[in-house]
Amino acid sequence: MAEKTTTTPGEPVYVERPVFANAFNVALQAGGVGVVVAAIDNAVSSHNRGGWGVLTRSGNTIGFLAAMGATFALTDSWVANIRRKDDHLNGVAAGCAAGFLAGIRARSLPMAVSSCAILGASVGVYDYTSQAANSASETKEERRKRFFKQPPPSLEAAPTDAAA
């Protein structure tokens, strides 16, 4: 059942996010990062498992990073869809959920709560500052013209009073 949304004239229309598709895509990307981290860990440590040590010794790193990425993306999209807003508070909730997961992996409730607070605050500040920087009303061309030095207007291009 689709809900009608009423927006004020200056407010952008919210487009609903696909929750599970985002979570799946981010889980795959974070799992890829986990493979790289596990491969580096496998390469620098001494053991007798060879190349399969990436999966047998460090496979939990791959799964954990994929789970954190999926948790972050799922929470971010889910909170945005519930609130019908795309702002920094979605990132705060998603960072908190991912941080809580990291603390639970350490099997410590104080670590989970503090990881929730630290990661949530970090992501929230990052999202807030990036949205504030992107909300400038000037266009890319206006910023470029303001950045580069402008040549002085030539005398030939100046309007003359003879035409009047």
Note whether residue 152 is domain-resident.
Answer: no
What are 51-76's pLDDT values in tens digits?
A: 777 887 888 889 999 999 999 999 99
Note whether residue 13 is domain-resident.
Answer: no
Note whether residue 141 is domain-resident.
Answer: no
DSSP one-letter code for 159: -
Residue 157 to residues 69, 151, 152, Cα–Cα distance (Å): 58, 12, 11
**pTM for the predicted model, two decimal places:** 0.72
Task: For residues 117 and 93, give the distance between their C-alpha atoms in angstroms, rounded to a whole number.
Answer: 10
Task: For residues 7 and 13, give the distance between their C-alpha atoms in angstroms, rounded to a whole number.
Answer: 7
Note whether residue 9 is domain-resident.
Answer: no
Note whether residue 2 is domain-resident.
Answer: no
Note whether residue 7 is domain-resident.
Answer: no
Q: Which domain holds residue 47?
A: 19-136
Q: Are 75 and 120 in contact, with CB atoms under 8 Å apart? A: no
Give the residue from 101, 106, 99 showing the smallest Cα distance to 124: 99
Note whether residue 10 is domain-resident.
Answer: no
Q: What domain count does the chain have? A: 1
What are 106-156's pLDDT values in tens digits?
A: 999 999 999 999 999 999 999 998 877 776 666 777 778 877 877 777 766
The mean of the pLDDT values for the chain is 83
Residue 17 to residues 50, 68, 81, 89, 96, Cα–Cα distance (Å): 42, 19, 7, 15, 20
Residues, the chain, total? 164
